[in-house]
Amino acid sequence: MANQTLHSFPHPHSAGDIPQEALGEAVKRTLGAYPEDIVDRMRTASDVLEWMSDIFDDIHNDTKSGRPDAVILSRILRRLDRGKYLADDFANLVDCWRGEMADAAKAVGIKCEVSA
């Protein structure tokens, strides 16, 4: 190994000849979830942020008409409640994912500073 140069190692972004199953297991050991589960988590994150963006767009559109009446204010308050619920619930979910990933990384010796 001492005689190998940096160029003799496989590219870090290439799986080379490593079987897909072995790669998936390595990711799970390192991050606590299989790659497809991590991708699903990112899809969930994208969906929730899109829903929140829609809520903000609706609130913005409700306020464009000038001085909002009681009906519009009621709709705005309901949307704000929904947005807060989504944000709080999703923050809790992501915090759980973060903890799982940090624990898995630490278990294989990767230093992972996690602040709560």
Establish if 2 belongs to a structural domain: no
Establish if 42 belongs to a structural domain: yes
* pTM for this entry: 0.71
Q: Tell me the pLDDT tens digit for each residue of 12-33.
A: 556 567 788 888 888 898 888 9
Q: Tell me the pLDDT tens digit for each residue of 67-80.
A: 778 988 999 999 99
Split into its structural domains, the chain has a count of: 1
Residue 11's region, left for phi above 0, alpha for psi from -120 to 50, else beta, is beta
CB 86 within 8 A of CB 52: yes
Q: Which of 92, 77, 76, 114 is nearest to 44 (CA)?
A: 92
Q: Which two tokens stand for residue 113?
A: 């500073």
Establish if 37 belongs to a structural domain: yes
Q: Rounded to whole angstroms, how far apart are CA atoms 116 and 102?
A: 12
